[in-house]
Each structure stands twice: as C-alpha cells, then as structure tokens.
C-alpha cells in the first residue's frame, strides 16, 4: 500500500511538474500571442459563433425552423447537390489535365522550365473576379474566340456565348486549380526513386502496369491531398460561379450571398453558412491527415538523379503533348483579357484605361473607377502592416527547435489554431461580420476598417506559413554565441534572427498585399458604397450593360492581374534566393 501511495504521490508530483513546465513554456510567449489571440477571438471566433447563434436561435431561443427548411425544401438540397457534383467534376478534370504536367516537370530538365513553372502558377494567385473576367474575354458573346470565329466565317453575330454556362464554370475551376496538381504531385514525384519502376519493368511489367501498381500507390497521398484541396476550393467557389454562372447556377456560397444582400434572410443565410462550415471543416480534417502522411519519412532521391534531360525527339514530343493543353488553358484567357481590354468596342488602345479616370456623369456621388484602385492599395497596405505584425508575433511565439517538451505542445496547439481562417469561406466570414459587428462595443459595420480586418484574417495564415519555417531553420548556436558575447534578447533578434528571416517576412508581406488586392468574397458583403475596391468595381462593370462598362471591367481586371503577377514574381524571387 505504501509503495502504491508513493507511486501515486510521485505521479502527482510529475503531473504538477509537467503543468508547471507547460506554464513556464507558455509565459515567455504570452506577450507575443496575446494580441494575435485576441484578434482571432474577436474577428474570427466571435463572428462565427454569432452565425451559429443566429442559425439555431434567431429569436434568442432555440428555433430549428431554418434548419428544417433546408432539409425539407428541395431547392436547397439541389443547391447542395450542385455544389458537390460540380466541385467533384471540376476536381476530376483538374487532375486529368494537371497530372501529365506534373510528370514532365518532375522527371525532365529542359530550357525555360523555371519560367514555365512560374507562368502556370500565376493563375492560382489571381483574384476569382479577374479569372471570371478573363473567361468572359475569351468565351463570352463579345469574347476574343467568338469574335475571331465570326470574323473568320464572315458573320456579324457572335458564334459563342459560354458566359453564363456550366462549361465556363468548369473550365475556370480547372484553370484556377491545375497548378495544385502540378506542384503538389510533381514535387513528390520528382524525388521518387526511379529504381522502383525500373525493377517492376525488369520483372516484366509494362509501362501502364508499372504506373498503376508502383507509381500511383506512392503518389496516392500527394494526389489525394491535391484533389481534396481542389475540391474544397471548387466547393466554396464564389466569384467564378457568381459571374460566369450568369444567375443560372447557384452554389452554397452564392446562395449565402444572395440571402444576405438581395433576398435578405439572415437566419437562413446563417444556417446555410453553418452547413458549409461543417462540411468544409470535415474536408480540412481529411486534408490535414493526408498532409501528415506526406510528412512521413520516405526513401527519396535528389532531383539531379531522378530527372533526365530532354535531348531526343521522342522526349520533346512527350513534353509538347503533356504541356500544350495545360499552357493553352492557363495562358489563353489571360492573353485574351489583355487583348480585349485594348480592342473591344469602338475605342482602341488605352481608351478604356483612360476612362477609368473620368466621371462621365459629373455627379458628386459618383465614385470614379480610379478611386477603387486607390482604395484597394490603401486597404492592401494597411492589411500588409497588420498581417505582418500579427503573423510575426505568432511565428516567433510558436517557433520551436525541439520535437518534445512543453514548447512543442504549445506550438502544436497554436499552429493549427491560426490556420483555421484558411479553411473558412470568405462569404461566411463576411456574414459573421454583418451579424456580430453591428452593435456596441464592436460597432464597425459602417467603418472601412472592417474591410482591413477581414483581409488581415484571410492573409494572416499565409504570413505565418511564410515566416515560421525561416525562424525554425535558424541554428540555435548562432543565438547562443550572440548571448555569450553579451547581446541582449532584443539585440539577438535584431542582429541574428531578423537578417535571416527578412526575405521570408518580405514574402509574407507581398502575400498579404496581393491577397488583399484581390479579395472579393468577404468584401462583397461588408464594403461601403463610397469605398469600393477593384474586385467590387470589376463586378459592377460586368453586371452593367454597354461596351464601355465591359471595356472598363477588362481594363481594371488587367491592371489587377498585373499587380498580382508582379507580386507573385517577387515572391518567387525571394523564395529562390532564400
């Protein structure tokens, strides 16, 4: 009995010591994480909980009428079904188009490879409203392809009108997400040992059988992660469906927007948002597990061994067959966007760009399009400062050099916590702001600051993911040497850490700026009419009749595309040097 009591006392002592160790590990990080945690609590969890409360208790008491209406009304079941199957079909098409590109980028070295990799990544960083505008410029009734075919056949009327069609939505989703398959699968494929396939071939397996029984099982985690992430993005697609759907197709995201803005029914919109949050949260859990499988140590080979030079006609033919469809899909809409912005309508050249600076109505209440550019830049600068400040604090607090101990547990707790906004619908977030932040003490509904807060929440995970690996890569002996030479913690940070992580901070800052410039989902719900952003202005122009409005939409989309492309190229520059 004594022995058992002694062991029990020792266990309590160790447990108390463990808790004390956790507290000691947390206390130094408390000043750093306190402000980011408060920001997350006020502008993420509080709005989402308000959406939850509105959906389940719209009158202050439990009321499941809105939820029952969703289940009993075929309209919303059809919306959920369309949201699901269009995302699934978009994912299948994306994988089919992206897999050949992933193979050639993974297994071959050829001139211009780095440039092509950068070009095919550009579409992914573009705002959805720009992607939609690019496809209207290519496939719409006034689009480049329609005009080219009509001119070729000598006809006055357009031959194509895919604007407002399902085909345009699916093609735009593939355009937007193909790089996920190319990058995620290609990165894993590039380091896979080719000896495994060679052994299967030596034992009599053909190319197809070796791929099916050897390569595909090894690629399954990365392929599954890329497909699931693509499905999530297509499931929560907003700008593409809203603009290219032409009002004929509605996803959960679009219906939440309509029920908030055009057919106001906030309890119903909140219930739809709740359903979407539950579904996307489940998918994000599955994605996290697939990512964990990717992190499992494997026998990988360096790329200088696995990759071959393209030096024979057969390999050049394989390269052309694999990359031509991908490059045509990804680059043609962007080229059409630029070309149509210069040629559509009676004007030519920079006429539509010059129109962005004019006020044709002469009204004091009219907001010139160039003001939207100014607003977007100001919002983006404010977002960049706030997101980098908060992101740096989070990254420093959870940067962990060991794999065990209280600090490790703290990092494992806080790291996924600040990634939660990444898997949350922007429209749902905007709805939460409308519900939660329209009364004291957080009465921000009429303030343009609300746009900055929403953009910061969306950009914060990207800043953390950019800075955190750089902080964790700093060798501990550098800090120890500086400390032994008499440097204070502040001097260690300024003289040792900051020069090393400066490039990563710059990457995070550019990410935040670019994301803010193109954010459309949350902004569409919370912006003030006197403070439109570039995506809002583009959406307005596309929704109004007339060639002039259409031309200005294309011109502003081209400007926004150039800003985002430049930002991405800066990011790639910093990443290659880091």
Q: Residue 577 — pLDDT band, cuts 50, 70, 90?
A: very low
pLDDT over 90 at 279, yes or no? no
Alpha helices of 344-448 — where are they, by DSSP H?
351-355, 369-398, 406-417, 426-436
Q: Say what the alpha-carbon torsion angle 215, 217, 218, 219 is, to the nearest 10 degrees.
A: 80
H or E element at residue 150:
helix 144-153
Q: What pLDDT, in 10s, does the model give residues 211-260? A: 777 777 777 888 888 888 889 888 988 888 888 876 778 888 888 888 88
If pLDDT is split at 50, 70 and 90, which confidence band does 408 have?
low
Contacts of 139-146 with CB under 8 Å at 24 or more apart are 139/163, 139/168, 139/171, 142/340, 142/344, 142/547, 142/550, 143/336, 143/340, 144/336, 144/339, 144/340, 145/336
64-116 tens-digit pLDDT: 776 777 777 788 888 889 999 999 999 999 999 888 888 888 878 888 777 78
Find the angle CA(505)-CA(452)-CA(366) to the nearest 5 degrees: 130
Terminal Cα-to-Cα distance of the chain (whole angstroms): 61
Arithmetic mean of pLDDT, 324-335: 85
The correct CATH number of 356-578 out of 3.90.550.10, 3.30.300.30, 1.10.10.10, 1.10.3720.10 is: 1.10.3720.10
Cα atoms in the 13 Å half-sphere on the side-chain side of 309: 3
Cα–Cα distance, 532 to 542 (Å, whole number) = 15
- With cut-offs at 50, 70 and 90, classify the pLDDT of residue 366: low
Angle at 468 between CA 465 and CA 472, to 5 degrees: 145
pTM for this model (two decimals)? 0.76
Confidence of residue 452 (pLDDT cuts 50, 70, 90): very high
DSSP string of 480-543, one letter each residue: HHHHHTT--HHHHIIIIIHHHHHHHHHHHHHHHHHHHHH--TTHHHH--TTS--HHHHHHHHHT
Query: Distance between CA atoms of 496 and 477, rounded to whole angstroms?
Result: 11
Residue 53 CB partners (closer than 8 Å, separation 6+) = none
pLDDT computed for residue 453 by the predictor: 92
**Is a pLDDT exceeding 80 seen at residue 181?**
yes
pLDDT in tens, 514-528: 889 888 888 888 888
Number of H helices, E strands in the chain: 28, 4
**Distances from the Cα of 40 to the Cαs of 33, 73, 417, 467, 523, in angstroms?**
10, 35, 9, 18, 18
**% of the chain residues with pLDDT over 90:** 8
User: Is the pLDDT assigned to residue 125 strictly greater than 60?
Assistant: yes
pLDDT, tens only, 431-451:
888 888 887 777 887 888 999
Task: Please state whether the peptide bond connecting residue 441 to the residue before it is cis, i.e. omega within 30 degrees of 0.
Answer: yes
**C-alpha separations of 408 from 33, 223, 390, 514 in Å:** 15, 29, 21, 32
Phi (first) and psi of residue 192, to 5 degrees: -80, 135
In the structure encoding, which two tokens stand for residue 9, read together?
């006392």
pLDDT given at position 360: 62
| Tokens 């599954």 belong to residue | 224
CB 464 within 8 A of CB 418: yes
Nearest Cα neighbor of 338 from 323, 346, 349 is 349
| Span 538-572, pLDDT tens digits | 888 877 777 778 888 888 888 888 888 887 777 76
8 A C-beta contact, residue 425 and residue 355: no
């Amino acid at each position: 009995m004594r022995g058992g009591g002694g062991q029990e006392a020792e266990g309590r002592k160790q447990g108390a010591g463990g808790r004390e160790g956790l507290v000691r590990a947390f206390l130094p990080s408390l000043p750093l994480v306190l402000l980011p945690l408060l920001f997350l609590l006020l502008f993420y969890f509080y709005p989402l909980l308000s959406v939850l409360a509105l959906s389940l208790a719209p009158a202050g008491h439990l009321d499941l009428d809105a939820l029952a209406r969703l289940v009993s009304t075929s309209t919303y079941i059809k919306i959920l079904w369309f949201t699901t199957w269009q995302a699934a079909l978009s994912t299948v098409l994306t994988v089919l188009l992206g897999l050949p590109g992933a193979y050639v980028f993974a297994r071959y070295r050829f001139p211009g490879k780095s440039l092509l990799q950068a070009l095919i990544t550009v579409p992914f960083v573009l705002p959805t409203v720009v992607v939609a505008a690019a496809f209207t410029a290519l496939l719409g009734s006034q689009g480049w392809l329609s005009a080219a075919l009509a001119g070729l056949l000598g006809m006055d009327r357009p031959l194509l009108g895919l604007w407002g069609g399902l085909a345009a939505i699916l093609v735009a989703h593939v355009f937007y997400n193909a790089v996920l398959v190319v990058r995620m699968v290609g990165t894993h494929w590039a380091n896979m040992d080719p000896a495994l396939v060679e052994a299967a071939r030596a034992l009599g397996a053909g190319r197809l059988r070796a791929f099916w029984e050897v390569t595909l099982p090894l690629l399954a985690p990365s392929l599954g992660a890329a497909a699931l992430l693509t499905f999530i993005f297509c499931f929560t697609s907003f700008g593409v469906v809203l603009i290219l759907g032409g009002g004929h197709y509605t996803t959960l995201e679009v219906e939440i927007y309509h029920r908030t803005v055009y057919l106001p029914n906030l309890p119903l919109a909140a219930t739809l948002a709740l359903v979407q949050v539950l579904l996307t949260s489940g998918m994000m859990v599955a994605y996290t597990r697939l990512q964990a499988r990717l992190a499992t140590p494997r026998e990988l080979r360096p790329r200088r061994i696995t990759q071959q030079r393209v030096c024979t006609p057969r390999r050049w033919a394989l390269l052309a067959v694999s990359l031509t469809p991908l490059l045509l899909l990804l680059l043609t809409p962007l080229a059409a966007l630029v070309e149509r912005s210069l040629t559509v309508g009676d004007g030519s050249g920079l006429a539509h760009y010059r129109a962005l600076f004019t006020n044709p109505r002469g009204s004091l209440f009219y907001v010139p399009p160039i003001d939207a550019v100014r607003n977007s830049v100001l919002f983006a600068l404010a977002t960049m400062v706030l997101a980098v400040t908060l992101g740096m604090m989070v990254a420093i607090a959870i940067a962990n050099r060991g794999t065990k101990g209280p600090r490790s547990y703290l990092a494992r707790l806080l790291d996924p916590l600040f990634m939660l906004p990444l898997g949350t619908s922007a429209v749902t977030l905007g709805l939460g702001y409308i519900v939660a932040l329209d009364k004291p003490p957080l009465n921000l509904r009429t303030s343009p600051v609300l746009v900055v807060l929403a953009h910061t929440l969306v950009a914060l995970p990207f800043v953390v993911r950019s800075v955190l690996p750089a902080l964790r890569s700093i060798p501990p002996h550098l800090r120890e040497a500086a400390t032994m030479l008499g440097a204070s913690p502040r001097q260690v940070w300024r003289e040792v850490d900051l020069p090393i992580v400066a490039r990563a901070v710059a990457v995070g800052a550019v990410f935040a700026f670019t994301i803010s410039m193109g954010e459309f989902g949350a902004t569409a719900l919370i912006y003030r009419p006197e403070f439109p952003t570039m995506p809002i202005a583009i959406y307005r122009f596309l929704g109004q009749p007339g060639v002039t409005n259409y031309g200005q939409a294309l011109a502003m989309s081209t400007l926004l595309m150039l800003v985002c492309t430049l930002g991405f190229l800066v990011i790639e520059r910093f990443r290659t040097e880091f």
